[in-house]
Amino acid sequence: MEAKAVVAKKRPDLVTLIAVYHFVVAAFEFLAACALLVALVAIVATATGDDAAIGGFIVSVITMILGFLVLAHIVVGWGLLQLKEWARWAAIAMGVLGLGNVPLGTFAGVLAIWYLLTPEGKGAFEAAA
């Protein structure tokens, strides 16, 4: 009986860098969400009447959006590390959305979009499929 050799493809360094960027962004967004939760408690504890309801609602919505973004960045970062094709497209989409975050998000977005659309970037994910 012959044993088939399984050759593991090395993940390109730029894919790893883009994945780490997503994890770092998730960490900062998580800290922002925690700060907003503290603000929510302060608003509810000190405001009265309609101010408490309106302020609490606004801060709650922003916190939920940040929570969703944290999860999205973590999932995309994990997918990139696993060389999943869907993660490549998700990272491109998130790169486009992050272009307005001047200057760091713009630089990271341009880098991610450029690299993930190059033949080398595409090839890293095609070979893993």
Q: Per-residue pLDDT tens for 57-80?
A: 888 899 999 999 999 999 999 999
Q: What pTM was computed for the model?
A: 0.85
What does pLDDT average to over the chain? 90
Provide the pLDDT for residue 90: 97
Q: What is the CA radius of gyration of the chain?
A: 20
pLDDT at 48 over 90: no
Q: Determine phi and psi for 6, rounding to 5 degrees.
A: -100, 120
Which structure tokens are listed for 64? 């939920």
